[in-house]
Amino acid sequence: MTDFVISPPPQVALPVAGGGRFPVRRLYCVGRNYAEHVREMGNDLREPPFFFGKPADAIVIDGGGVPYPSHTHDLHHEIELVVAIGTGGNSIRADLALEHVYGYAAGLDMTRRDLQAAAKAAGRPWDMAKGFDHSAPIGVLAPARLIGHPGKGAITLSVNGVERQRGDLQEQIWSVAETIAYLSTLVALRPGDLIMTGTPSGVGPVARGDVLEGHIAGVGGVSATIS
């Protein structure tokens, strides 16, 4: 018996390579973590990265559809390395941070760029630019015990078979370990948390019918179709 007055929402979970599912608690995102992307957005390289969030239920399981969202005419793709936290903590030391990682996946930080630009101009929150429904397609999660901790390697995104984004994980301004260390001073990280670690340059618009295919060397892929 339960005393919930409505049915509780389903647990969001990512499929794991080799079997099983990873239950998702929160989804954090890092802004401005690759120098070339910071430059293409016209921002200051000396400014430290910062964090925003998406709801966990904005996740689209790999291969799923992303309905073109309302209130935008400029939906953008951002391919990102996703870090899955297996053990939590506060103020985690950078030199121990990777021990808290369960695994890695490729993900897409879909963005209503026009709403984000308006929010920036007005000093308003980014939630509706970043955290809309279906805004976070994520691929199969690869456990670190199988793939290790990728500190370098190509991160790419193609749209309809044409490459749009290409970078290398070693171009991240803040490493995964440094990101975990800093984020865990702001909030307690818990098992089930995901961190999207920023996108390389080449972000751009998508249209209905586009097929997005992202890949991260040594990690895996993510695909989504805009419907």
Q: Which is nearer to Mn ion, 158 or 199 (CB)?
A: 199
**Total number of residues shown for the chain:** 227
Measured at CB, which residue is nearest to Mn ion?
Answer: 109
Residue 11 carries which side chain, given as an amino acid letter? Q
By CB under 5 A, the residues from 108 to 167 that bind Mn ion are 109
Interface stretch with Mn ion, choices 70-78, 154-162, 169-177, 180-188 (CB under 5 A): 70-78
199 contributes a contact to Mn ion by CB under 5 A: yes
Closest by CA to 53, choosing from 83, 25, 76, 30, is: 30
Q: Which residue has the tokens 């992307």?
A: 37
Q: What is the largest CA-CA distance in the chain?
A: 55
Q: How many residues bind Mn ion (CB under 5 A)?
A: 3
Site residues for Mn ion, 27-56, by CB under 5 A, read none
Closest approach of Mn ion to the CB of residue 227, in Å: 22
H/E run at residue 186: helix 176-186
Q: Does 62 bind Mn ion (CB under 5 A)?
A: no
Residue 20 has a CB neighbour count (10 Å cut-off) of 11
- What type of residue is 38? V
Residue 78 engages Mn ion in binding (rule: CB under 5 A):
yes
Q: Which stretch binds Mn ion (CB under 5 A): 38-46, 64-72, 77-85, 88-96?
A: 77-85
The answer to whether 186 touches 23, Cβ cutoff 8 Å, is: no
Residues that bind Mn ion (CB under 5 A): 78, 109, 199
